[in-house]
A = this chain, B = another copy of it.
Amino acid sequence: MSLIVQKYGGSSVADAESIKRVAKRIVETRKAGNEVVVAVSAMGDTTDELLDLAHEVAPIPAPREMDMLLSAGERISMALLAMAIESLGHDARSFTGSQAGMITDARHGAARIVDVTPVRLREALDEGAIVIVAGFQGFNRDTKDITTLGRGGSDTTAVALAAALDADICEIYTDVDGIFTADPRVVPKASKIDRITSEEMLELAANGAKVLYIRAVEYARRHGVTLHVRSSFNNNEGTIVYNPTDDETAGHNESIESGSEGAVEEPMIAGVATDLSEAKITVVGVPDIPGKAAQIFTIVAKTGANIDMIVQNVSAASTGLTDISFTLPKSEGQGVLTALRAEQDEVGFLGLQYDDQIGKLALVGAGMRTNAGVSAKLFTALFEAGINIEMISTSEIRISVVTRADTINDALRVVHTAFGLDSDEEAVVHAGTGR
C-alpha cells in the first residue's frame, strides 16, 4: 500500500462544485488501494476577503490575531472537503495545523516549520480514514498560539507531511498541467516538462515560475520528497520533480547532476522563466577600494531586502570608481534607496539610480556552466531579436539576463525557440491564478 500526499490549492476548492470534484478524485486515489493525506488551501478568495476585513477594523492588525483570523479559511475548506468525502461513503477526518502536529517557530505570518509530529494522522490512517489537513497553518509550542506559514504555505504543508509520514509521493494539484518550459500564456508552444530535478525546479521557481513555491521545493529537496505537479481538472500526467541523489542528508547542491536520462555531457535545458517583479538599483561612483561592497550590502541587509542579482563592473582606471548594480523586489526599492542615501557620505559613492522597468529572464538546466555554447546561443538569440542585455549573472545551472521590461516576452519566445523547446502543439491554459 502506498501513502500519497495530495495538495489542492484555493482555485481547486473555490466552490461547492469544485470541492465535490476534488472529493471524488481523492476517493479514487483511496479506492486504488492507497493511503491518502490531503493538504488543502482556503477556498478561492477567502484569504483575501479576510485580509480586507482585518484592514477595515485595524490599520495595522496584530500579527497573532491575523494568524488566528486567516487560519479560519482552511478550517472551512477542510471541513467541507471531509464532509464531501464522507457523503461518498468513505471515512474522512479533518485536522487543523496544530492537530496535525505542524510545529513552527513563533514568527506570525511567516512561521517556519521546526517539527512535524503527525501522531493523530498516523492513527487515523491506521483506522482506514482519509486524512484532510489544513494547509498554511501550524502552532507554536511555547506560546501555544496558532501560526501561519506565509506565501506558499500550503505547498510546504504538503511536502512537510510527505516527509514526516515517509510518503511515496507528494502530488501538488493546481490549475495547469504541470511545469512548462516557459509560461504558456506568453509562449503558446511551451512544452510540459515530464521530469525535472529539484535543483532546476528551484532555479525556475526563484526566477519567476509561479506554479511551485521555492520554499516547498527547498523542503522537498532537503527531505528527499518526490513531487508530482499536475492539474486537478484532468487526469493527465504532470511534472515529476525529483532528487537525482538518494542521499537525503546531503542538503547541499555542490553535486549537480544532469537531470535527464540522456548524454550527461550535453547541457539539458529544463526551461526558461521570466520575472517582471524586480527593480534595479545602481550605486554610481563607488571608490574601488576593498570593503566598499561589503559596506553597501550591510546597509541593504539591515532593511531586510531580498537581493537577487548583483553585478559589479570593472572600474575605469582613470577615475578609480566603479558602479555596483543589484536587483530586488520593487516593493523593497524605496526602503533600500532611503537607507543608502542616509549613508552616502559614509560610503563615499556619487549617486543612486533606480529603474523599475526591467525584466529578468533565466535559462535553467543542468551542465550549463561547463558548456560555453549555451551562453553564446542565448546572447545570439537575444541580439538577433534586437533585445539589449543590461545585466548578466550565472550559476551552476542557470544564466540570468536583465532586459527592458517591455521586451521580456519577446525575449522569452526567441530564447524558447533557439533552445529547441517549442512543442508541436499548443499548451492548454486554464483560467486561474496558478497558486
Binding site for B on A (CB under 8 A): 16, 19-20, 23, 50, 53-54, 56-62, 64-66, 68-69, 71-73, 75-76, 78-84, 86-87, 92-94, 96, 99, 120, 144
Contact = CB atoms under 8 A, between A and B. Distances in A.
Report how many copies the assembly holds: 2
A75 B86 CA distance: 25
A94 B79 contact: no
Given A72-B72, A76-B69, A82 B62 contact: yes
B75 A87 contact: no
A50 B23 CA distance: 18
Given A56-B16, A57-B20, A57-B23, A69 B80 contact: yes
Contact of A76 (B19, B72, B79, B82): B72
Contact of A68 (B16, B66, B78, B87): B78
Contacts of A76: 50, 53, 69, 72
4 closest A-B pairs by CB: A16-B56, A69-B79, A58-B87, A68-B79
A86 B62 CA distance: 7
A82 B54 CA distance: 10
Given A57-B87, A58-B86, A75 B68 contact: yes
23 contacts: A16-B57, A50-B76, A53-B80, A54-B80, A57-B80, A58-B84, A62-B83, A65-B79, A65-B80, A65-B83, A65-B92, A66-B79, A66-B83, A68-B79, A68-B94, A68-B96, A69-B76, A69-B79, A72-B72, A72-B73, A72-B79, A99-B144, A120-B144
Contacts of A69: 75-76, 79-80, 83
Contacts of A58: 83-84, 86-87
A65 to B, nearest CB: 4
A70 to B, nearest CB: 8
A75 B78 contact: no
A71 B73 CA distance: 11
Contacts of A54: 79-80, 83
Contacts of A60: 87
Nearest to A70: B79
The residue among A87, A120, A144 with the most chain B CB atoms within 10 A of its own CB is A87
A75 B82 contact: no
Contacts of A19: 57
Contacts of A73: 72
A64 B83 CA distance: 9
Contacts of A20: 57
Given A68-B94, A99-B144, A120-B144, A61 B75 contact: no
The residue among A16, A60, A62 with the most chain B CB atoms within 10 A of its own CB is A62
Nearest to A16: B56
A128 to B, nearest CB: 15
